[in-house]
A = this chain, B = another copy of it.
Amino acid sequence: MHTLVIYDITDDQIRMKIAEACKSAGLVRIQKSAFLGTINSQVRKGLIMKLRKILGDQEGNIQIFLICEADIRLREMIGKPTEEEEDMLIL
């Protein structure tokens, strides 16, 4: 399963912390506020707990999607991928 995290956060500090949490969980940045990757359910649960803690009762919205292999293959991209994603696509 692939994990997609998308977030909509105005506070720069919180946004940065969310990006760091996604990155250290092993996800790859595919947009400024979107991370994607294959991580196991334990890592994913840990990440979700961490994200809940980071946001606390501050304003914002974070969504975590699970996408199966069959569906991820149907993904369409318009425009240039991020450097991080480009590296992942090459690997």
Binding site for B on A (CB under 8 A): 1, 4, 6-8, 30-34, 48, 51-52, 55, 58-68, 70-72, 74-82
Question: Across the interface, which residues of B come within 8 angstroms of A76, CB to CB?
Answer: 48, 63-64
Whether the Cβ atoms of B31 and A59 lie closer than 8 Å is no
Residues of B within 8 A of A81 (CB): 61
Contact, CB under 8 Å: B66 / A71: yes
Quick check: B33 and A55 within 8 Å, CB to CB?
no
Chain B residue numbers with a CB within 8 Å of A6 are 6, 31, 34
Identify A79's interface contact among B32, B55, B74, B79, CB under 8 A: B55
**B residues less than 8 Å from A71 (CB atoms):** 1, 65-68, 71
